[in-house]
Amino acid sequence: MSEGYDLLVIGGGVNGAGIARDAAGRGMRVLLAEKDDLAAHTSSASTKLVHGGLRYLENYEFRLVRESLQERERLLAMAPHIIWPLRFVLPYDKGLRPKWMLRAGLFLYDHIGGRKALPGTETVDLTRPPHSQVLEPRLTSGFAYSDCWVEDARLVVLNTVDAAEHGADIRVRTEVTGLERRDEDWLATLRGPDGAEEQVSARQVVNAAGPWVDAVLGKAIPGEDHRNLRLVQGSHLIFPRLFAGDHCYIFQNGDGRIVFAIPYEREFTLVGTTDRRYEGDPGEVAITDGEADYICAAINEYLATDVTPEDAIWSYSGVRPLYDDKSGSDSTVTRDYVFELDRGAQDAGPPILSIFGGKITTYRKLAEHALERLGAPGKAWTADEALPGGDLPVSFEAFAGQMIRTTPFLPQQVVWRLCRAYGSRVRDVIGTATDASQLGEHFGQGLYEAEIRHLVQNEFARSADDVLWRRSKLGLHMSDAQRARVADWFEAQS
């Protein structure tokens, strides 16, 4: 059996990665085990927003919205390369929420979280460009407000990288197949990518397995009924660019929900999301015909030119592991996080802390609260510490401009993407190269062998999908042949 740990974190999504980072930075001996890739499931299937959740105000979740808005600006400062501001345009549509309600909600949204860096709400004339030719003629006015975009999977990966740099042991493709509570610690059985098993001990366990949190509880505390989750599916469609400009739209639906339309990867528009109860295997979730029809019907109420599911070039789906608060609606069940702490008989054994719900925006605060519940040593430290690559000496735009000028052998668009992905650490990928040939094989769309090797050696990538669909979105831009060549490269390394 290998050396013992202070903390075993099960799950490599955003919550598990954030907890591992915080705990490792406090000097704890941390092991994070993820059965697939980092951010392989829920944490890479979001709408990719760092936001307060405007519609949560209608459910009176004021604490969640306030905390989210405070974290929004904090995360923007921590990772300006993978997080950046967006302006959202909310059209007023007669027969839905009245204009006074929208104005009041946005006023509260601007002020409840102590907004400092982002611009506030303003009214918008939708009869003028760039909206007049994009939206239906009946839409004449609306509001514009601020939120932020996040490269969700990279947020997870960078937290994990930082955890590793603080001494954490990160294991991907490693499943926890057994958990046994002993007098002073847990005995965990791990099955690695080669199928071999080993046992490790840990004084505490965090169950951050997302949609599988109840399954992990079943291993740790057998013989009890563990049904705490409400699994809610959210799906998105990606279309060729539907409108020009950097702004986004937020559209109200007659059922009370909202749908976003967001510029995505320069060439596309991301539209979603849905809310439907999910009963199957979380690892097999995929968009349904009904969801695709729902998304298209929702945006066709607002866009001057209609779209169909067949117009979409890609889709993705995820399962939100929400705490079942017995809400009658899958869209109103709380997005807040809930902890369940179990210390066994007489409440005196080694603890397991299970996490339900949560959202990307509040992951860092969730990690602080989780370690507080466990009585972790040291002080909270992550609020003002940049994530890897986030310590830019100037604004992102100025930094990227400098890199473009000093890297003339690469197309500007490629350098911009690399700066977005790696921030101040972009030279860890480019190195001292003075010619593109020094970066190794070019797989297409600006992906060179040097970058793949960096992702394998430093960011726990183990397959073509890890590179093309999570640590980047280059899979959207590549041809089938180019994607196959990346897969062949990984096959050749094994």
Domains and CATH numbers, the chain: 5-42+154-228+334-384 (3.50.50.60), 75-149+230-322 (3.30.9.10), 396-493 (1.10.8.870)
Q: Do the Cβ atoms of 387 and 424 come closer than 8 Å?
A: no
Do 103 and 59 form a contact (C-beta atoms < 8 A)? Answer: no
What are phi and psi for residue 487, nearest 5 degrees? -60, -40
For 38, residues 6+ apart whose C-beta sits below 8 A from its C-beta are 12, 13, 17, 153, 156, 157, 160, 172, 460, 470
Query: Cα dist. 412→80, 200, 326, 482 in Å?
Result: 19, 48, 51, 21
Burial of 262 (0-12, 13-18, 19+ CB in 10 A): buried
When computed from its CA atoms, the radius of gyration of the chain, rounded to whole angstroms, is 23
| The two structure tokens encoding residue 134 | 């994009």
Measuring CA to CA, which residue among 181, 103, 95 is closest to residue 145? 103
Please give the pLDDT value at position 61: 81
Provide the strand spans (E) within 253-334.
Answer: 258-264, 268-272, 276-277, 314-323
pLDDT score for 333: 55
* pLDDT for the residue numbered 326: 56
Give phi and psi for 381, each to the nearest 5.
-140, -10
Sequence letter at residue 478:
M
According to the model, what pLDDT value does residue 230 have? 87
**Do you know the residue count of the chain?**
494
- Using DSSP's 3-state secondary structure scheme, residue 28 falls into coil
What are the tokens at 342? 């179990």
pLDDT of residue 436: 96
Q: Which residues pair with 8 in a beta bridge?
A: 31, 205
- Specify burial of residue 269 (Cβ count, 10 A radius: 0-12, 13-18, 19+): buried
CB 313 within 8 A of CB 240: yes
- Low-confidence stretches of the chain (pLDDT beneath 70): 1-3, 325-335
Give SS3 for 239. strand
Per DSSP, which regions of 82-121 are E strands? Answer: 83-91
Question: Which two structure tokens, joined as six digits, stand for 289?
Answer: 């015909």
